[in-house]
Amino acid sequence: MDSPEVPASVRDALAPDPALAEKVVGAQSLAQTPVFVAERLEVQTADGARAPRFIARHHGGVGVVAVREGRVCLVRQYRCALDRVTLEIPAGRLEPGEEPRVAAGRELAEETGLVASGLRHLVRVYGSPGFTDEKTDVFLATGLAQGPACPDEGEFLRVVWLPATDVVRAVLVGAIQDSKTVCGVLAARAAGVLK
């Protein structure tokens, strides 16, 4: 948070605070999956009490805002956890040790067939820091060329190109709720890419 772009008031509000700090005094692994590791932590709170914390450790992910001729590329995908179809920017998980920019280009090409000549970082999002350390870096794709899509086995999605104004409006009225998509669209709008 030492960037000169971060307002001083925000930098001050994010400063370490011993009255809020927790110290991990014990950890137990509960489950390991290909997507995350679940842990039970025992922490000592600032007042000296002990409390459990349940954490899902994750490699992180990426998302890509791709815009062409005033339209935003989104994928329609059924999400089992929500039991419905969502609209999301193309996205996916980082492979262990993979650079986010590389993963963003890979995921964009796999899901949509789009190849970007440039990827500019827009925003980093922690979707639910109360229980997971998963972070998602969202990029803006530029210089788009169309190639063949090749989604992962078992991944079924449909690519749609929607007017940027409709996508921004859908985010603002809550029709698009995926956190990486909401943050990516609003970051692109703030950067002047979307109207």
Token output for 176: 């698009």
For 145-176, the pLDDT digits (tens) are 998 888 777 778 999 999 999 999 999 999 99
Of the residues 95, 107, 153, 155, only one is catalytic, namely 153
Domains and CATH numbers, the chain: 8-58 (no CATH), 61-190 (3.90.79.10)
Q: How confident is the model at residue 1 (pLDDT cuts 50, 70, 90)?
A: low
Q: Could you give the 3-state DSSP secondary structure of residue 65?
A: strand
Q: Which of 175, 176, 171, 168 is nearest to 194 (CA)?
A: 168
153 catalytic per annotation: yes
pLDDT tens for residues 35-53?
Answer: 899 999 999 999 999 999 9
Reading the block at residue 154, the tokens are 């078992």
Measure Cα distances from 119 to 146, 175, 182, 187 in Å.
Answer: 15, 27, 18, 14
The pTM is what? 0.91
Which tokens go with 121? Answer: 């970082």
Reported confidence tier of residue 2, pLDDT bands at 50, 70, 90: low
Task: Specify the DSSP element, H or E, that contains 72.
Answer: strand 71-79
